[in-house]
Copies of this chain bind each other. A is one copy, B any other.
Amino acid sequence: MEKCVLIVHGGAWAIPDNRIDGSLEGVEIAAREGWKQLMQGASAVTAVQTAVNSLEDNPVFDAGYGSVLTDSGEVEMDALIMDGKAMRSGAVGAVSCVKNPVDLARHVMENTDHTLLVGKGAERQAILAGLEIVEPESLVTPEGREEWETYKQYKSAVSSLFSGRDKEKAKEPEPGIGHDTVGCVALDAKGNIACATSTGGITGKMPGRVGDTPLVGAGGYADNQVGGVSTTGHGESITKACLAYTAVINMEQGMSPSDAGKKALEGMMSKVGGAGGLIIINKSGEWTAEFSTERMAWAAIKENTLYSGIHPGQIKENNL
């Protein structure tokens, strides 16, 4: 058990002051829940799924319950899970009625020949698999609805947040606009690495928009031989930069997780513009949380210590 590590994030963006405490508490709870699984001998896949379920069920985060709304006022969620042991992955895009999209991603990984199912086709599999189906409206919080009302006034929901090469602009999103993708990476007692990422996307997105989250190499990547990554930030930039896979390649070529993450984020900014964040664990159990946005809530557990932070450079340390 001493080699186990688990890290979660609650999204990289300019988290407003009034959501700092809730975000930090949420990632710490999720990390503890995933860790508990690892300590009971569960696989990295089950641990990341459990932690992401906790984040999906927490209305503070934009994933599952708490998802933001599309331009037409609907919920559409994306999720990915990847098992670095067998190099298997499963993902879903633009699903509305599934309580925990990461559970459906795992079902796609384990029970289909495919890696990505979207829309009604994905929802049909959720029903066949007996996953929990809910009214999409039940996933919307009053804050999500209010954010959508505010956002309807803006034409360019995405570009006004943190895309583009203008990093200063990226640091000044409209107040109260959430887009906090969640994710987890874990290394289990057997040396297996897995990652999972889940999101409600970005307020005011076009119906049918699929972001980086469910795309292997963009929203996450896991390979037992190297390490695992989950990303967050400006989805379109992360997609074009293949952010998660870039970080894995950096590690494969000898970089530490911290250097690999920083270099991947810098490369994304210079090549396609856009800020973001990532959490990484390598096969030796070294971990990092890196972000180029103003804030990112994260929490990691290793050797009975809980680490967490939300501001650049901040690392709180507590015994479990």
A residues whose Cβ falls under 8 Å from a Cβ of B: 87-89, 93-94, 112-122, 124-125, 156-159, 163, 205-211, 215-218, 223, 235-236, 239-240, 242, 245, 249, 271-272
CB-defined A-B contacts under 8 Å, sample of 30: A87-B240, A87-B272, A88-B240, A89-B240, A93-B116, A93-B118, A94-B118, A94-B119, A112-B206, A113-B157, A113-B159, A114-B158, A115-B236, A116-B209, A116-B210, A116-B215, A116-B239, A117-B209, A118-B119, A118-B208, A119-B120, A121-B206, A122-B208, A125-B208, A215-B215, A217-B239, A217-B242, A242-B242, A245-B245, A249-B249
Interface contact B207-A121, CB-CB below 8 Å: yes
Q: Which residue of B lies closest to A90 (CB)?
A: B236
Interface contact A120-B206, CB-CB below 8 Å: no
Copies of this chain, complex-wide, total: 2
Q: Contacts A217-B217, A218-B216, A245-B217; is A236 near B114 (CB within 8 Å)? A: yes
When the two chains form the complex, which single residue of B114, B119, B156, B223 contacts A113, counting CB atoms closer than 8 Å?
B156
When the two chains form the complex, which single residue of B113, B120, B216, B249 contacts A240, counting CB atoms closer than 8 Å?
B216
Q: Would you give the shortest CB distance from A306 to chain B, in whole angstroms?
A: 32
Residues of chain B within 8 A (CB-CB) of A215 are 116, 215-218
Interface contact A239-B216, CB-CB below 8 Å: yes
Residues of chain B within 8 A (CB-CB) of A163 are 113
A240 to B220, CA, bound (A): 11
Residues of chain B within 8 A (CB-CB) of A115 are 235-236, 239-240
Residues of chain B within 8 A (CB-CB) of A217 are 215, 217-218, 239, 242, 245
Interface contact A119-B119, CB-CB below 8 Å: yes
A105 to B270, CA, bound (A): 24
Apart from A89-B239, A94-B118, 11 more pairs, CB < 8 Å: A93-B210, A114-B158, A114-B211, A115-B235, A117-B206, A118-B208, A119-B208, A120-B207, A124-B208, A215-B215, A217-B242
